Structure 1
Amino acid sequence: MRKKAKQETAPLHKVIMVGSGGVGKSALTLQYMYGDFVEEYDPTKADSYRKKIVLDNQTCQIDILDTAGQEEYAAIRDNYYRSGEGFLCVFSICEYESFLHTQEFRDQISRVLDDDKVPFILVGNKADLGPKFRKVQWEEADARAMEWNCTYIETSAKTRQNVDDIFTLLMRQIRDRKKRNASSKDHERKRKRIKCLIL
């Protein structure tokens, strides 16, 4: 009797949450993972979450690293960034300073990875608080995203607005990039093989 073929492991996509402290990175992560809204949350050192999901009819795994926004952990950020395949850069639409800090996060990621085409989404959180509390206008944030050649999406961890969308969109970008990289490596291998045959 033939042994059953070993089951293929589901592809793993590594997502890193970045942004200033208190903008709702953990709240977004926990809402996505468990469907819970956590109002009070201890400042994160760094928490990792993993779950199996279905992305466009294919089973895969998402690994989310929720990093600390606090400056005292800046020294270990570089290691986190190196392990990431895609980034959700979160700010609060009610806190202009957190929006300004997104430029620093973007610059750090580009420097560490030496890659400004890494899958990246700019996320304006706390959209449920409405116009009265808004300090960052949609147009300004969207203009920054266009400058970075990425997507801008507004979310609410409280109402779950666009929470699934940001993770799904980022995972699609990560998956598509892996496919492109794999096919260009394959093309390069074939090219080398043809070269050898000609010689």
Structure 2
Amino acid sequence: MAPSVKQRKIAILGSRSVGECESWITALHELATQYEHCGLTAPLLTTGKSSLAVQYCEGHFVESYYPTIENTFSHEIVHKGQTFLTEIIDTAGQDEYSLLNSKLYIGIHGYVIVYSVASRQSFDMVRIIRDKLLNHLGADSVPIMIVGNKNDVDPKKQRKISAEEGQALGKELNCGWIETSARNNTNVAKGFELMIAEIEKSQEPDKPAGGGKCSVM
């Protein structure tokens, strides 16, 4: 008999790399439009966490310029023969001084914290967001996957965070880690599957870790 479907809830968090005010959002939209009309690539304004969710759940790439909008997606994930009906909450972006929504502490099984490999600021926010979660939950650890998105950028001109640096942060914070490209659909599904793996490890604390946290270059 096939195992029953399990319910899991995942929250996606990441730096809000643009201002919240309407004038900022409008200006960024106009700037992106100007770049598109000129046949150029728009500046790297966000971490792309919303693009990851859309790529994974809907199968297409979208640019994201609205860091204050929250969306919820549903998707089935199969891990080791077990089907998980997963609710994925794409949260509004965070900054150093913002408070995390209280909903992020209720019924959430795991957290995906996204940074852009082209943004030092978003990378530095990973530790801040993780610490906020642990402090509010009063826990030493929770299931977390750190995702370095936009690994399709020019490695010499745009990349600011090396894969080795990202992997080292994951190891230091005792979190899973992977690099992805929402644009090219690289490692997107793998990232969510590894998130489920981290959650399931936490559900069986007495089971041998089998190699520690998940990490994919």
Q: Which range is displaced more, 78-87 or 120-129? A: 78-87
Q: Select the residue among 74, 78, 89 that pairs with 2:98.
A: 74
Report the aligned-residue RMSD: 2.4
Alpha-carbon deviation of 1:74? 3.4
Equivalence for 1:31: 55
Which residue of structure 1 aligns with residue 133 of structure 2?
109
SS at match of 1:117: coil
Aligned residues: 176
| Counterpart residue number, 2:87 | 63
Distance 1:177 1:14 in 2: 14
Find runs of 4+ consecutive structure 1 residues off by over 3 angstroms.
Answer: 70-76
The CA deviation at 1:53 is 3.3
CA contact (8 A) 1:82 1:112 kept: no
Deviation string 1:94-149 (CA, Å, 9 cap, x unpaired) is 01111111111010111122223211111111000131210112222222111111
Question: What is the aligned partner in structure 1 of residue 15 from structure 2?
Answer: 20
**Residue 163 of structure 1 is aligned with which of 188, 195, 215?**
188
Which residue pairs with 2:154 in the alignment? Answer: 130
Distance in 2 (CA, whole Å) between partners of 1:158 and 1:108 is 29
Structure 2 equivalent of residue 118 of structure 1: 142
The letter for the 1-side match of 2:126 is T
Of residues 179, 193, 205 in structure 2, which corresponds to 1:154? 179
Alpha-carbon distance between aligned partners in 1 of 2:172 and 2:63, rounded to the nearest angstrom: 33
Q: What SS does the corresponding residue of 2:153 show, helix, strand or coil?
A: helix
TM-score relative to the length of structure 2: 0.73
2: CA distance, partners of 1:155 / 1:115: 28
Runs of 5+ unmatched residues, structure 1 = 1-7, 184-199
**Structure 2 counterpart SS, 1:74:** coil
TM-superposed deviation, 1:13 = 1.1
Structure 2 letter corresponding to 1:24: G
How does the TM-score come out when normalised to structure 1?
0.79
Structure 1 contact 153–166 (Cα < 8 Å) conserved: yes
Separation of aligned partners in 2, 1:71 and 1:147:
22
Q: Indicate yes or no: 2:170 matched with 1:142.
A: no
User: Which of the two has greater helix per residue?
Assistant: 1
